[in-house]
Amino acid sequence: MTRSKRKWDHIEYALSTGQTRMTGFDDITFVHQSLPNIALSDVKLDVKIGELFLSSPIFINAMTGGGGEKTLQINRDLSIAAHETKIAMAVGSQMSALKDPIERDTYRIVRKENPNGIVIGNLGSEATVDQAKAAVDMIEANALQIHLNTVQELTMPEGDRDFTGALKRIETLVEQLNIPIIVKEVGFGMSMETVKQLASVGVSIVDVGGFGGTNFAKIENERRARLLSYFNDWGIPTAVSIIEAKEQHPHLSIIGSGGIQTSLDMVKSLALGSTAVGLAGYFLKILLKDGLTKLIEEINETKTDLTMMMTALGAKNISELHQVPLIISKDTYHWLNERGIN
């Protein structure tokens, strides 16, 4: 199978397998406050993750690039949406473009359409320092995501089978690159043990990429003759993963992602301890089903919704949102109890 066919399959299956809504956010309830003592105009959405300043905590998470005209069009539209709404955007894995120069324009378009925006590069943990620097240069990236996707690779017939040495390579990248490195999962979540390992080598931003949204085990299983169905329900729900990461390292910048669809999901993700929220599958679906104008509208409405909910909660900014009281129930409560997190 060609790389470009695989990329298009991922997009089609991401839309058709849908999002499972098993993120754990339904187990989180805010405690309503009747005297928030705040005006809507007091609420500020800007945040700092690591050394990156974002005007809004919402961003478009890594999806595509490479693969030709269709992915070029998707990246062009996503970057126009990012530019118009002033949110950050990550590109999909750039490894194929490092190997094949013809693919580079499908990534460069993201910087072309959004010259002054925050653009984030993306590679897997197999990347060398030279590859990472080339990926950053390709799009003048403000930060670089390194994705961890063991279960996806295992489910992919042509995927990697050797996962040794990833932490050491990440450590070298953190030392050698002069922009922030964000280590991310792709929908299987990060445990507190993983976060501890990453923090021990100097990683200061993690994107938990939790379970409950786009499901790459299901997507890859669609492309297999013999199904590895045991991976279909594998992973740490996003809400749990944010809490585990926070528990491990209160000063780490945490990005909440994986199955985030509504502005309520976003506010819950932020209140649990994340500083930014990434959306991939949901934004892609709006773009491909309803078009660019609708995507821009949706992002702008989401920002308004965040401001409304933060006002109701009496939180003037994301730091104050981290402090609001909430109730954790059902499976998420049970999980945290088992893991000794109170």
Query: How near is the Cβ of 210 to ligand FNR at its closest, in Å?
Result: 8
C-beta pairs of 35-40 under 8 Å, 24+ apart in sequence? 35/314, 36/311, 36/312, 36/313, 36/314, 37/314, 38/311, 38/314, 38/315, 38/316, 39/311, 40/307, 40/308, 40/311
Query: How near is the Cβ of 183 to ligand FNR at its closest, in Å?
Result: 10
Residue 39 token pair:
């005006």
Query: How near is the Cβ of 237 to ligand FNR at its closest, in Å?
Result: 12
| Residue (254 or 324) nearer to ligand FNR, CB | 254
| Residue (95 or 310) nearer to ligand FNR, CB | 95
The residue nearest ligand FNR at its CB is 213
Report whether 218 contacts 232 (CB < 8 A): yes
Query: How near is the Cβ of 37 to ligand FNR at its closest, in Å?
Result: 34
Residue 42 token pair:
């007091």
| Residue (253 or 314) nearer to ligand FNR, CB | 253
Query: How near is the Cβ of 64 to ligand FNR at its closest, in Å?
Result: 6
Q: What does the alpha-carbon distance between residue 271 and residue 274 come to, in Å, rounded to a whole number?
A: 7
Report whether 62 contacts 255 (CB < 8 A): no
| Residue (61 or 204) nearer to ligand FNR, CB | 61
| Residue (14 or 82) nearer to ligand FNR, CB | 14
| Residue (23 or 332) nearer to ligand FNR, CB | 23
Catalog residues that contact ligand FNR under the rule CB under 6 A: 10-11, 14, 19, 61-64, 92-93, 122, 145, 147, 184, 186-187, 209, 213-214, 257-260, 279-282, 284
Query: How near is the Cβ of 15 to ligand FNR at its closest, in Å?
Result: 8
* Extended beta strands in the chain, E state: 28-30, 47-49, 52-54, 58-60, 88-90, 119-124, 143-148, 181-185, 205-207, 253-257, 276-279, 326-328
List, in sequence order, every residue forming a beta bridge with 70; answer none if it has no partner.
none
| Residue (38 or 174) nearer to ligand FNR, CB | 174
Query: How near is the Cβ of 7 to ligand FNR at its closest, in Å?
Result: 7
Q: What does the alpha-carbon distance between residue 224 and residue 208 come to, in Å, rounded to a whole number?
A: 27
Quick one: which of 176, 168, 163 has its CA closest to 130? 176
